[in-house]
Structure 1
């Protein structure tokens, strides 16, 4: 057996694609028969899904021993544990593939398709991306190897390696939700300031003041800042600032 072939043959044997003969020999120089080739390919491909649809049990979880290969778009795998690798073949045209509560113990190898959706319950050990693709959803990716440009990941893998020359890699992050905790006066003041002018109060082009420490005069494009500052003082000065604001907006007419 040539020395240069030892690594490749070892990987093939370790993956279970070839097992040698009954006498534990490998015979690399012997021509491969048609039956042996079919057997090796069958082991490599594992379970083959080549029709659109949803595969997997509805309520329970099933374990698929070995590899799984997808060769067309619009396929959903559901409630599965795949002990081997998951292949998204290069022949897959534009379309979405979905993994719903799927755990892949081996490697997910993406060579085709344009979008892969991962449900929050999906867990992928290793993902190798060799084609432009968008990986959506909230599933967990432990390791990612990016070998192609124009790749989008919705979640940050725990570790990532990017091949040399790869460009346009986008890792999306959700914007943090606005705080709604009690006592967040800044948020309340800002919202109140916006509502004060949205509700039809008269606009003010300039105000003279020596009691609330506001800059004067104020241009019309600074009205929002004025409103916010007044409301801040309003919360601090209570009745006094409320009366002052009323006088500013109404010209002293009426009562508060």
Structure 2
């Protein structure tokens, strides 16, 4: 039979309500594209825009000029440099992008002197550009055995290895790499997205309180990043210019490469960073300031830098490679590997080491600064008015303006000492150690917190001593020996929380006396910050007892401390008003039980427990719905 026209109109109107008409302008060529997620993110961050016809053409091959433009935009490059490519005119739209690429140094051009900006860029060419830009390690073997690896030429192989091994470039499903294939706009975007990871390209305070998987890139000044764990690398790019960036309670598990910041500095507050590379391609001095409980394991100074270690731990080790380096604070170790200028403006260096490749270096020690141990294996000149407690000279050509309190000159070598009424040449041997040397002090370096390592710092630094760590529940004692704690370092355990710790050092051999440190404490627990996000929700069958439901819930959760610490906590669950014979949803509340050595008030975890209806009920309900629909369709069309 024919259906009533009014009924048809009613059905059409209803369908329009639940499926609104989409305007033609909303149809773009990247919806449902394999790179849709990355494209949307870049559009949202104003990194890419479409063509006048409303398309982005993600599958169109990208030219070299367009690729350089993308690179410059995502890293925030602004500096321009001159270039002399015969196939690039000043009037070309991309001339500025070429100038930026030359300023940063990732564009070298072809052997014939051309740039070929209109050529499509191949996968291997993009690998060379990006590996050079990121200064990736190019040694080692290729992690993936591509079926067409014999097609990879020697000039691009190191870069391809670096990009593939870091996960930035991948092969195709058929196992090939296709090095000469031109990349598309979408492929270029995805490669750059893998490198940059989460991008912060607008100034502001980002208090995330979360874990970011992968890399993070900051390319703009005025960014404050707080309460964040970064599982990959952190890139602070030249786009920061002369501005500042603040890292506040940030844990970086990968490397940190700092290329921007200038005199206004990068502030590292209450944060933990493993290895930092200071590398300004624009050859501008960068200032790093460690504040609060900041802890930086290693700084590689490849370009000029000022390090201010105002934090309790600050910069642990600094490696200088040809840079002018100025130091303020207390440094555990400074190693010079290339000819450099190092100025200790304020503070101390425990171990100051010059390798043979550091020949030609110059050092200045400001008044009231101290070097505990100075080891020189390359011709170096040391000036200033600081104090050197011990020096070991293992080469010729060393000149010291100030005489160390104790010194060993290696066999066959000599050192010039300025100040004994002229220049005095000291031959090999031991100077200043013919009589007993008294210990002057011992201090404890490190944070008074569970999980941290405390280190005894004795003066003179090379003194042979016996250590003994002591503990008390009061600052003024009495103190008792910690059994077995007789090394230079002591690992703070959960049993030490709320206690006070100190160390004694007693001289051995040519060293005499016994010194005691000030008390460190009270030892604090790790402060709880957050628990890992996890979907604890459960679906259970009708009639499942509450005890069985609780047995199925996750009992352990990962937890995070305020300074990037990680741990595991137990969860004690309870279900509110649970009725196993009543279909519906119930709320379960999990109380986090912190492990020993942790403090704070964790926020309870919640989960939704949904009881499924009995299966025969589901079947009958579905059958009834199907019968109704079938009947409706029959009435409409037959």
Q: Secondary structure at the match of 1:29?
A: coil
Q: CA deviation at 1:25?
A: 1.5
Q: CA deviation at 1:160?
A: 2.3
Matched, 1:130 2:279: yes
Q: Deviations over 1:42-99 (max 9, x none)?
A: 1111111111111133xxx311111111111111111111111111111212222111
Q: Secondary structure at the match of 2:164?
A: helix
Matched, 1:141 2:296: yes
Q: CA deviation at 1:133?
A: 1.6
Q: Of 135, 151, 156, which residue of structure 2 is paired with 1:5?
A: 156
Matched, 1:106 2:245: no
Change (3 A) 1:26 1:153: farther
Alignment of 1:12-91 (within 5 A): 12-57=163-208, 61-91=209-239
Q: CA deviation at 1:4?
A: 4.4
Give the distance between the partners of 1:89 and 1:76, measured in 2 at CA.
Answer: 15
Q: CA deviation at 1:175?
A: 6.7
Give the distance between the partners of 2:258 and 2:347, measured in 1 at CA.
Answer: 28
Matched, 1:163 2:347: no
Q: Which runs of 5+ in 2 are unaligned?
A: 1-151, 331-345, 349-474, 477-638
Q: Secondary structure at the match of 1:22?
A: coil
Root-mean-square deviation over aligned CA pairs: 2.4
Q: Secondary structure at the match of 1:91?
A: helix
Give the distance between the partners of 2:236 and 2:347, measured in 1 at CA.
Answer: 31
Q: TM-score, normalised by structure 1?
A: 0.61
Structure 1 residue aligned with 2:329: 172
Give the distance between the partners of 1:71 and 1:43, measured in 2 at CA.
Answer: 16
Q: CA deviation at 1:127?
A: 0.3
Structure 2 residue aligned with 1:250: none
Q: Deviations over 1:28-49 (max 9, x none)?
A: 1222222211111111111111
Q: Of 267, 271, 280, which residue of structure 2 is paired with 1:117?
A: 267
Q: Secondary structure at the match of 2:205?
A: strand
Structure 2 residue aligned with 1:151: 306
Q: Which runs of 5+ in 1 are unaligned?
A: 183-256
Structure having the larger proportion of residues in strand: 2
Change (3 A) 1:82 1:92: same
Structure having the larger proportion of residues in helix: 1
Q: Secondary structure at the match of 1:20?
A: coil
Q: TM-score, normalised by structure 2?
A: 0.26
Q: Secondary structure at the match of 2:211?
A: strand
